[in-house]
Amino acid sequence: MPVSSKAWDSALVRKWLELRIEAARLDQAVADKRGYAAQDDYDNAAAEEWVCRNLKAAADKDQAAFADRLKQLLGQDEYPVTGIYDDRRFERSVRANLRKIAKMAKANAGFENTLRYQ
C-alpha cells in the first residue's frame, strides 16, 4: 500500500471508528423499532458496527498494519455474527464497508469526516 503525503494519525482513525460504532448502534436501534420493513437497515448497521469493532485494535498501529488487517478481513469467507436477519445481506454489507475503509486508508483521507450520516 503506498503511503500518502499526509502522516497517519492513528488517534483520528480510532476516534472515527468509535464514532461509526456509536452511529451504527443508533441506526440498529431505530431499525429495530421500525420492525420488519427495516430489517435491511438493521443488517447494514450491524455490518458497519462489526467492521469498525474488528478494525479498532489495528487503528492504534501504523498504516501498513491497518491495511494488513483490512486485507485479512476481506480475505475471510464468512463473518460469524448472531442477531442479524439475512446472512448474505450482512456479508455483502461487511465487504462493502471494508472496501470503503480500505480506500480511505489507502488515500489516508476521509477519517476527519465525523458526521453521523455519511
The range of the structural domain enclosing residue 73 comes to: 25-107
State residue 90's pLDDT score: 95
Query: CA 86 to CA 5: how far, in whole Å?
Result: 41
Report the SS3 class of residue 112. Answer: coil
Taking only the tens place, the pLDDT of each residue in 18-56 is 999 999 999 999 999 999 999 999 999 999 999 999 999
Task: Tell me whether residue 43 is in a domain.
Answer: yes
Task: Tell me whether residue 85 is in a domain.
Answer: yes
Taking only the tens place, the pLDDT of each residue in 56-100 is 988 888 899 999 999 999 999 999 898 999 999 999 999 999 999
Query: CA 96 to CA 84: how far, in whole Å?
Result: 17
Q: Is the pLDDT of residue 2 over 90?
A: no
What lies within 8 Å, CB to CB, of 12 at 6+ separation is 111, 112
Please state the domain count of the chain.
Answer: 1
Task: Tell me whether residue 81 is in a domain.
Answer: yes
What lies within 8 Å, CB to CB, of 67 at 6+ separation is 1, 102, 105, 106
Residue for grid cell 436501534: 29
Model's pTM, two decimal places? 0.88
Task: Tell me whether residue 93 is in a domain.
Answer: yes
State residue 118's pLDDT score: 67
Task: Tell me whether residue 57 is in a domain.
Answer: yes
What lies within 8 Å, CB to CB, of 42 at 6+ separation is 27, 28, 31, 32, 84, 85
Rounded CA Rg of the chain: 14
State residue 5's pLDDT score: 60
